Amino acid sequence: MPSIKITAVAAPQNTTAVMGDEEELDLSEAMFKTIQHFVPKFFTALSRIPDPRDPTRTVYPIQEFFLVGILAFMLKTRSRRNIKYRLGTPKFIRNMQNVGGVLYPQEPFPDTLLHGDTLNKLVNRIPVKYSQELRNLILRTLIRSRCLEKWRILSSYAVVIDGTGAINYHNRHCLTAQRNRPTFTH
């Protein structure tokens, strides 16, 4: 991956000395270098996702949507509305333009940040199979390169599924159900 010079990200979770030496990285730069190191085909896989939008009305490249979505999750923005407030700073936008200029020079990133609702609408229009292919690419690459080897349990990988909140009821169905407006859960 070519060298990317990124100024400090606007979010409060800046990391320093991530590499163990004197080199200082902010969180976005550390994320891009980590992805490139462990899953080098990730960014090219992002560019292969078909864009369902009208090309004449498209402002933001589809790759920027996914990168902002990943960063919003990692930086714990908590809501789509906070994408604008926590990530919409000039430093963050410059960082995204630098990263986009290196990874996707044919599609420059604009000098404004997309809105969280726009991100949600696009993600809802993209077929789930493309997200599953990205997930499979990441897992397959990590397993084949033996990056997850030290976390095996009895020589097998453990899979954890969070099923909390998977079943919700609109009416109280038993005495132990907790009221979680507007539904009841266990």
pLDDT tens digits, 154-165: 989 888 877 766
Q: Is the peptide bond before 105 cis (omega within 30 degrees of 0)?
A: no
pLDDT of res. 95: 85
Mean pLDDT confidence for 111-124: 92
Please give the C-alpha separations between residue 134 and each of 18, 41, 138, 139, 182, in angstroms, as whole numbers: 26, 10, 6, 9, 34
pTM of the entire structure? 0.69
Question: Where does residue 105 rank: exposed (0-12), middle (13-18), buried (19+ CB within 10 A)?
Answer: exposed
Mean pLDDT confidence for 5-33: 52
CA torsion 53→95→132→149, rounded to 10°?
170
